[in-house]
Amino acid sequence: MSRTVRSRLAVMSIVVVLLPVSTLLAQVRREIRIPDIMGYKTLKCDFHMHTVFSDGQVWPTVRVDEAWREGLDAISITDHIEYQPHKADIPTNHNRPYEIALPRARERGILLVRGTEITRSTPPGHFNALFIKDVEPMDTKDLLDCMAAADKQGGFILWNHPGWKPDRKGWFDIHTTIYEKKYLRGIEVVNGRSYYPEAHEWALEKNLTFFGNTDMHAPATRMETTSEDHRPMTLVFATSQTIPALKDAIVAGRTAVWFEDKVIGREEYLEALFEAAISISDIKREQKAAQFTIRNESDLAVQLQRTGNVGPRELALPANAAARIRVAVDGKKKPVELSYVATNFLVGPDKGLPVDFVIAGRYKIEVEVELPDK
Ligand SMILES: [Zn+2]
Ligand SMILES: [Zn+2]
């Protein structure tokens, strides 16, 4: 075989191997491993994103493909009603992004929530209306008229990026008004790369539903979702993967936020997520030591800091990992109690979730998660 023929063959085999692989990569959906809790299905959702129909850079179907690839279960395309920089090329038609994306969402098995972004200068700021039926009646000058139109359609309104303008942020009278009228029922504790501790506080105080959304305008460049690199998302605990069940869960406040290496939300849901993800097994009790394996069966990394006297001072349990722990004990029979705080499970600003593990004597296994006093 001459050198030319051989190198041509080599080139051909590279082409043959690479083409199908790159085609496959574009088609892969990376499933996210977050456990179902309390009898509910955990849906991975993003309820804030833009397309060319407002100031985004992609066609509506692209948002569905991106979400499918990144392992999401539900999205909402929320183009601005009042701001359309591309309107010379794309005519104003508030309902089109949803209509265009819907067939693709059905094909992909992604729930598509009809939504829009109500856009006012700060304060009051921006709000998303989800589960609406028609955006047109919401195209009004007065904010209260707009929200009333959304409410009349059964819409759910959340406050977007409440800390976006640091010099003008805060809870103003207008927020009290829309809260008291029961228009405002949710809040973005996370938007894109930002976490807002004050929004976290308001969500707890005023019983608002927690949201963590991307607010993406550019095309998603992430080809694969991992525990370390994923979009911020709203975890919704729903009875099933349907629009009515999704809405029921959001109205009832059954959500949490997965943001970077943090899980943010109400104690009851964070506790249930922790309990479902973390298990203790392979307990070995000896006269002077107890050994056990602590396992994290989820994509949620866990960082533990000791609050009691027993066990390692700090314990990092990456996603889908296990650690073998050995602690000194006095005899075989007494249960061993380990008290920790999961510092990256935020039940309040700068407040982690307290957790206890009880390693029973005589090989019995029991895991307990303790809630602090309310
Ligand atoms: Zn906005
Ligand atoms: Zn937006």
Ligand in nearest proximity to the CA of 76? 2
Ligand in nearest proximity to the CA of 216? 2
Q: Give the integer Cα–Cα distance in Å for 278 and 297.
A: 6
- C-alpha 199 – ligand 1 centre gap (Å): 15
- C-alpha 209 – ligand 1 centre gap (Å): 18
- C-alpha 50 – ligand 2 centre gap (Å): 6
- C-alpha 350 – ligand 2 centre gap (Å): 27
Ligand in nearest proximity to the CA of 49? 2
Residues 118-161 pLDDT 10s = 999 999 999 999 999 999 999 999 999 999 999 999 999 999 99
Ligand in nearest proximity to the CA of 127? 1
CA-nearest of 336, 327, 190 to 263 is: 190
- C-alpha 225 – ligand 1 centre gap (Å): 25
- C-alpha 336 – ligand 1 centre gap (Å): 50
- C-alpha 78 – ligand 2 centre gap (Å): 7
Of the chain, the end-to-end C-alpha distance in Å amounts to 80
- C-alpha 117 – ligand 2 centre gap (Å): 6
What pLDDT sits at residue 13?
52
Ligand in nearest proximity to the CA of 125? 1
What pLDDT sits at residue 223?
79
- C-alpha 111 – ligand 1 centre gap (Å): 22
**Which residues of the chain fall below pLDDT 50?**
1-2, 15-16, 22-25, 363-365
What pLDDT sits at residue 35?
98
Kind of pairing between the strands at 278-285 and 184-191: unpaired
- C-alpha 127 – ligand 1 centre gap (Å): 7
Tokens matching residue 244: 């009515």
Tokens matching residue 146: 């707009």
The amino acid at 159: W
- C-alpha 333 – ligand 2 centre gap (Å): 58
The gap from C-alpha 66 to its chain's centroid, in whole angstroms, comes to 15
- C-alpha 123 – ligand 2 centre gap (Å): 15
Q: Give the integer Cα–Cα distance in Å for 192 and 344.
A: 18
What pLDDT sits at residue 220?
96
- C-alpha 210 – ligand 1 centre gap (Å): 17
- C-alpha 58 – ligand 2 centre gap (Å): 14
Residues 249-262 pLDDT 10s = 999 999 999 999 99
What pLDDT sits at residue 363?
44
Q: Say if residues 35 and 42 touch (Cβ distance below 8 Å).
A: yes
Q: What is the pTM of this model?
A: 0.89
- C-alpha 1 – ligand 1 centre gap (Å): 64
Q: Give the integer Cα–Cα distance in Å for 70 and 110.
A: 11
- C-alpha 313 – ligand 2 centre gap (Å): 42
What pLDDT sits at residue 158?
98
- C-alpha 159 – ligand 1 centre gap (Å): 9
CA-nearest of 369, 196, 339, 199 to 267 is: 369
Tokens matching residue 230: 């994923």
What pLDDT sits at residue 183?
98
Beta bridge partners of 339: 356
Q: Say if residues 326 and 336 touch (Cβ distance below 8 Å).
A: no
What pLDDT sits at residue 1?
44
- C-alpha 130 – ligand 1 centre gap (Å): 14
CB count in 10 Å sphere of residue 204: 17
Residues 149-158 pLDDT 10s = 999 999 999 9
